[in-house]
Amino acid sequence: MSRYTADRTTLPDPAAALKAACEAAAYDRWLTEQVQQALDDPRPSIPDAEVKAEFVLRRAALRERLAKQRGGSP
5/11 Cα distance (integer angstroms): 9
Phi then psi dihedrals of residue 10, to 5 deg: -130, 155
1/40 Cα distance (integer angstroms): 36
Query: pLDDT-based confidence at 8, cuts 50/70/90?
Result: confident
Query: pLDDT-based confidence at 73, cuts 50/70/90?
Result: low
Domain boundaries, the chain: 12-43, 44-74
pLDDT score of 42: 95
Tell me the CB-side half-sphere exposure of residue 49, using CA atoms within 13 A.
0
